Amino acid sequence: DSGVTQTPKHLITATGQRVTLRCSPRSGDLSVYWYQQSLDQGLQFLIQYYNGEERAKGNILERFSAQQFPDLHSELNLSSLELGDSALYFCASSVSVNTGELFFGEGSRLTVL
């Protein structure tokens, strides 16, 4: 158990819909990262927040957005869903703003039908 909690574990929805994935980082960790994992692309970095502020952006689509709240939990919002958005979405946390050891949650598996 990494200490990072993600909900929901599984989500099935239709194209065009919007979903929200939630992540609670390890106690004391201020950085939250979101990654997308698909079979052909591996782990793709989406976005990082540190202590409520956006710190880095990766290959995140405009249809996706995220935020980190004052209690440090984070949400990833995916809208206008397409079939290709089906993937495993991981949240990871770390203590500092720099990329040290990442602690990954168990992921949220999104299936878009």
Nearer to another protein, 27 or 98 (CB): 98
Q: Does 104 bind another protein (CB under 8 A)?
A: yes
**Are the beta carbons of 70 and 52 closer than 8 angstroms?**
yes
- Residue 112 has which token pair? 């878009």
Is the four-CA dihedral 84, 85, 89, 91 of positive or negative sign?
positive
Task: Count the Cβ atoms, other than its own, within 10 Å of residue 61.
Answer: 14
Q: How far apart are CA 87 and CA 96, in angstroms?
A: 27
Nearer to another protein, 75 or 106 (CB): 106
Size of the site for another protein (CB under 8 A): 28
- Residue 23 has which token pair? 């992540």
Nearer to another protein, 29 or 81 (CB): 29
Q: Single out the residue of 10, 14, 27, 98 in contact with another protein (rule: CB under 8 A).
A: 98
Q: Single out the residue of 3, 8, 58, 84 in contact with another protein (rule: CB under 8 A).
A: 58
Task: Count the Cβ atoms, other than its own, within 10 Å of residue 96.
Answer: 11
Q: Does 33 bind another protein (CB under 8 A)?
A: yes
Q: Does 90 bind another protein (CB under 8 A)?
A: yes
* Binding site residues, another protein, CB under 8 A: 2, 4, 31, 33, 35, 41-45, 47-48, 50, 55-56, 58, 90, 97-107
